[in-house]
Amino acid sequence: MARVLLFGRLADLAGWRERSYEPTPARLADLRTLMATEDAALGAALAGSGVQAAVNKTLIRGDIALATGAEVAFLPPMSGG
Protein backbone atom coordinates (compact mmCIF):
# COMPACT_ATOMS: atom_id res chain seq x y z
CA MET A 1 0.00 0.00 0.00
CA ALA A 2 1.17 3.54 -0.76
CA ARG A 3 -0.33 6.52 1.03
CA VAL A 4 -0.77 9.57 -1.20
CA LEU A 5 -1.22 13.09 0.19
CA LEU A 6 -2.30 16.15 -1.76
CA PHE A 7 -1.87 19.74 -0.58
CA GLY A 8 -3.24 23.16 -1.47
CA ARG A 9 -4.98 23.54 -4.80
CA LEU A 10 -4.17 19.94 -5.78
CA ALA A 11 -6.45 18.64 -2.98
CA ASP A 12 -9.26 20.97 -4.07
CA LEU A 13 -8.85 19.88 -7.69
CA ALA A 14 -8.90 16.15 -6.85
CA GLY A 15 -11.63 16.40 -4.20
CA TRP A 16 -9.52 14.40 -1.72
CA ARG A 17 -6.48 15.01 0.48
CA GLU A 18 -5.36 11.51 1.34
CA ARG A 19 -5.77 8.17 -0.31
CA SER A 20 -4.25 4.69 -0.31
CA TYR A 21 -3.16 2.80 -3.40
CA GLU A 22 -3.08 -0.99 -3.23
CA PRO A 23 -0.91 -2.60 -4.42
CA THR A 24 1.97 -0.14 -4.13
CA PRO A 25 2.99 1.08 -7.59
CA ALA A 26 6.56 -0.01 -8.32
CA ARG A 27 7.82 3.49 -9.00
CA LEU A 28 6.76 7.12 -8.53
CA ALA A 29 6.29 7.39 -12.31
CA ASP A 30 3.88 4.43 -12.22
CA LEU A 31 1.86 6.15 -9.49
CA ARG A 32 1.71 9.34 -11.59
CA THR A 33 0.46 7.32 -14.59
CA LEU A 34 -2.16 5.58 -12.47
CA MET A 35 -3.39 8.87 -10.99
CA ALA A 36 -3.52 10.49 -14.44
CA THR A 37 -5.55 7.55 -15.77
CA GLU A 38 -8.09 7.97 -12.98
CA ASP A 39 -8.22 11.77 -13.17
CA ALA A 40 -6.70 13.41 -16.24
CA ALA A 41 -6.98 16.95 -14.83
CA LEU A 42 -5.17 15.91 -11.64
CA GLY A 43 -2.54 14.06 -13.67
CA ALA A 44 -1.85 17.21 -15.68
CA ALA A 45 -1.70 19.34 -12.52
CA LEU A 46 0.78 16.94 -10.89
CA ALA A 47 3.05 17.29 -13.90
CA GLY A 48 2.66 21.09 -13.92
CA SER A 49 5.41 23.57 -13.23
CA GLY A 50 6.23 24.21 -9.61
CA VAL A 51 4.65 20.98 -8.32
CA GLN A 52 7.13 18.95 -6.28
CA ALA A 53 6.88 15.37 -5.04
CA ALA A 54 8.13 14.04 -1.71
CA VAL A 55 8.53 10.36 -0.86
CA ASN A 56 8.67 9.57 2.86
CA LYS A 57 9.02 13.31 3.53
CA THR A 58 12.06 13.75 1.24
CA LEU A 59 11.81 15.83 -1.96
CA ILE A 60 12.41 13.72 -5.06
CA ARG A 61 13.50 15.05 -8.43
CA GLY A 62 12.65 12.60 -11.20
CA ASP A 63 11.69 9.02 -10.47
CA ILE A 64 12.27 6.63 -7.56
CA ALA A 65 11.20 3.11 -6.56
CA LEU A 66 8.36 2.96 -4.00
CA ALA A 67 8.48 0.47 -1.12
CA THR A 68 5.34 -0.89 0.52
CA GLY A 69 4.05 1.68 2.99
CA ALA A 70 5.59 4.61 1.12
CA GLU A 71 4.10 8.04 1.80
CA VAL A 72 3.98 10.14 -1.35
CA ALA A 73 3.09 13.83 -1.14
CA PHE A 74 2.46 16.21 -4.04
CA LEU A 75 3.28 19.81 -3.15
CA PRO A 76 2.12 22.79 -5.23
CA PRO A 77 4.06 26.11 -5.06
CA MET A 78 4.38 27.13 -1.42
CA SER A 79 3.32 30.33 0.29
CA GLY A 80 3.44 31.04 3.99
CA GLY A 81 3.71 34.01 6.31
Q: Is 34 among the residues that bind other proteins (CB under 8 A)?
A: no
Q: Is 77 among the residues that bind other proteins (CB under 8 A)?
A: yes
Distance, CA of 41 to CA of 17 (rounded, Å): 15
Site string for other proteins, 14-33 (x = CB under 8 A): --------------------
CA 37, 39, 60, 54 torsion-angle sign = negative
Phi, psi of 4 (to 5 degrees): -115, 130
Q: Is 76 among the residues that bind other proteins (CB under 8 A)?
A: yes
Candidate ranges 2-10, 23-31, 32-40, 60-68; the one touching other proteins (CB under 8 A): 2-10
Distances (CA, A) of 4 to 31, 70, 81: 9, 8, 26
The site for other proteins (CB under 8 A) is made up of 5, 7-9, 12, 50, 54, 57, 73, 75-81
